[in-house]
Amino acid sequence: MFGKIRAVVVRWCGACRQDAGMVTSEYAMGIIAAVGFAVLLYKVVTSGQVQAELQDIVKKALSARM
């Protein structure tokens, strides 16, 4: 009785672990999305207004007295 139940449980657990991971196309799509986000972030950070704000923050931090 317990042998049959154990066999069913082992078979069921094995079926749950069928996903072996991402395939190459999924990695490629992930890399493309990451590069796209990096380019967008770079464009925002290097824009004039954002650069001025960042420089202002750094100047305030360096001139702060403790």
**Per-residue pLDDT, 22:** 65
**Per-residue pLDDT, 24:** 83
pLDDT top residue among 5 and 12: 5
**Per-residue pLDDT, 2:** 62
Alpha carbon distances (Å) from 20 to 14, 15, 17, 23, 31: 12, 12, 7, 9, 19
pTM exceeds cut of 0.75: no
Dump pLDDT digits (tens) for 7-56: 776 676 655 555 566 678 888 899 999 999 999 999 988 888 888 898 99
